[in-house]
Amino acid sequence: MAIFEGAGVALVTPFKENGEVNYEKLEELVEFQIAGGTDSIIACGTTGEASTMTHEEHLEVVRFVCEVTKKRVPVIAGTGSNCTDTAVYLSKEAERHGAEGLLLVSPYYNKATQNGLKAHFKAVADQVKIPILLYNIPGRTGINIAPETIADLCRSVSNIVGVKEASGNFTAIADLMNFSDGCADVYSGNDDQIVPLLSLGGKGVISVLSNIAPAQTHEICESYFKGDVKRSASLQIAAIPLINALFCEVNPIPVKAALNLMGMNAGPMRLPLTEMEPQNQERLKKAMKEYGIL
């Protein structure tokens, strides 16, 4: 059984002006997501700025999100690293703190071989019992997890169950679906490609858009699963201008700006990310108004 089906949110981490995690606002964001019908919460991923957190902060955010969520929806913890020992440590601790799944990005910078990737992911999987999703985002990591590698891991390692696919390469995704023959749960890592991926048998999306439009993102998936593909596609198309605005600067700069525009006080970025450029913020504001969420 899949960890979840539908729209999971790649949750932002709100910060105070002094850079500390704002747990009061984090609780509000979790409740906003659950009220909006989000099917899963992914804590401490790229959108959550995990790369700028200490290990202690990272794990405390995971623990807090699990505590607030109270198993109303599954919590998946981002615990990937380019150091296998670090990924093992974060994964074991996230499991201990209540995470119901893990999201493991491919080791960035090192640029491991496909056999190295297999060894890395197996080493983590051997140390935990909860299900694992791989995260393929070569634009950020510099390495692609080949479809054959994903399929092999999902077949041979019982708790590696699928992948968040953000390569945008639909030929590779179709190959993965063919090679895995149903043993890999595939989620879109790109908000503009939800419906195309669902059409290949995907389970849903791990979404940035859902931070500001949880009900609408959930409905894209729900409509598809109910057989109303035409409505699902129309909802996907209607969201494209907003999605484009959310990615006109590197994620999560625009989505944090969007939450702040909505009065949800996600706070500042941590360096090296900086605040959104004024002209892009105007573009984002316009798209949000046209979409009806501002």
User: What angle do helix axes 229-246 and 214-225 make, rounded to 10 degrees?
Assistant: 150
Give 143's Cβ-side CA count (13 Å radius).
Answer: 19
Tracing tokens 């129309």 back to the chain, one arrives at 234
Taking the C-alpha atoms of residue 171 and residue 12, their distance in angstroms, rounded to an integer, is: 30
Q: Which of 164, 187, 224, 256 is flagged as catalytic?
A: 164
Q: Among 39, 35, 17, 25, which Cα is nearest to 225's?
A: 39
User: What angle do helix axes 229-246 and 253-261 make, rounded to 10 degrees?
Assistant: 100
- Is 135 tagged catalytic? yes
Q: Which helix (H) or strand (E) segment is 6 a member of?
A: strand 6-10
Taking the C-alpha atoms of residue 232 and residue 249, their distance in angstroms, rounded to an integer, is: 27
Q: Say how many C-beta atoms besides its own lie within 10 A of residue 218's C-beta.
A: 23
Taking the C-alpha atoms of residue 66 and residue 217, their distance in angstroms, rounded to an integer, is: 22
Q: Which are the contacts of 42, defined by CB distance < 8 A and separation ≥ 6?
A: 8, 9, 10, 11, 48, 75, 76, 77, 78, 103, 206
Q: Which of 25, 135, 187, 256 is flagged as catalytic?
A: 135
- Is 289 tagged catalytic? no
What are the residue numbers of the active site? 135, 164
